[in-house]
Amino acid sequence: MHTAAFFDMDRTLLSDSSTLLWIRYMRERGELPLNYILRFVGAMVRYQLGQLDMVEMTRRLAKDLAGESEAQRAMSTRRWVAEQVVNFVAPEAQRWLDAHRKRGHRVAMITASPAYTATALAEFLEIPDEDVMATRFEVRNGRFTGLMLEPMVIGPGKLAAAQAYAARHDIDLGASFFYTDSIADLALLEQVGHPVAVNPDRPLLKVAEERGWDIVRFY
């Protein structure tokens, strides 16, 4: 069996949230309706207050894509990643990616963020599409329906995605690594042999210290 190194994207490979970067980018270009910004801010506030979980928040925000052209979204996302997002790749991220490659490990990205963002950034980081697990949207006749494809790569769904990936590529999760900043990824952290907390949020920092997990800083 083989060893993999799984990397989260937001605030791990990137030093910021790709969602927040997208909102800022579109707002600066005058391409984001005010009602979308208000809905997004409202959803984020409810999430922070514990009134909305990440899965439900993502489903609600996905509804705003209904009717939009997938091709146009993919094109605008690639442009945005090339113009802005690559500048937020964490200073240490590439070094850690290269270190695992030199050890013969299979490098993979696993993120709750949209696949359009993840695959565009993965190309910059030289991670093949087949090694990217991300949230995907339902598309019919080239347009978004406003629904997500299940399972979503969030929380337990991220573990399920990693397990399916491991089965496809003969990966031993017990010998593998997972780098993330968030306690939301605890389910997968607990299943790999080498969990690594990267610039961890407070809940993850507490768990990592209690369990003796590695804690590193990418930025």
In DSSP notation, 197-218 reads EES--HHHHHHHHHHT-EEE--
Is residue 22 helix, strand or coil? helix
pLDDT value at residue 29: 83
Q: Domain range spanning residue 116? A: 4-216
Q: How many domains does the chain have?
A: 1
Beta strands in the chain (DSSP E): 4-7, 106-114, 132-135, 137-140, 143-148, 177-180, 194-198, 214-216
Buried b (16+ CB within 10 A) or exposed e, 163-179: eebbeeeebebeebbbb
CA–CA dist 163, 171 (Å, integer):
9
Distance of alpha carbon 84 from the chain centroid: 17
- Residue 3, sorted as left (phi over 0), alpha (psi -120 to 50) or beta, turns out to be beta
What is the CATH number for 109? 3.40.50.1000
pLDDT value at residue 207: 98
CA–CA dist 83, 22 (Å, integer):
11
pLDDT value at residue 183: 95
Query: Phi/psi at 152 (nearest 5 deg)?
Result: -75, 145
pLDDT value at residue 171: 98
Indicate the pTM of the whole model. 0.91
Residue length of the chain: 219
pLDDT value at residue 52: 59
* Bridge-based pairing state of the strands 143-148 and 137-140: antiparallel
pLDDT along the chain (219 residues), means of 10: 98 94 85 70 64 71 85 93 96 96 98 96 97 96 92 90 98 98 96 98 97 97
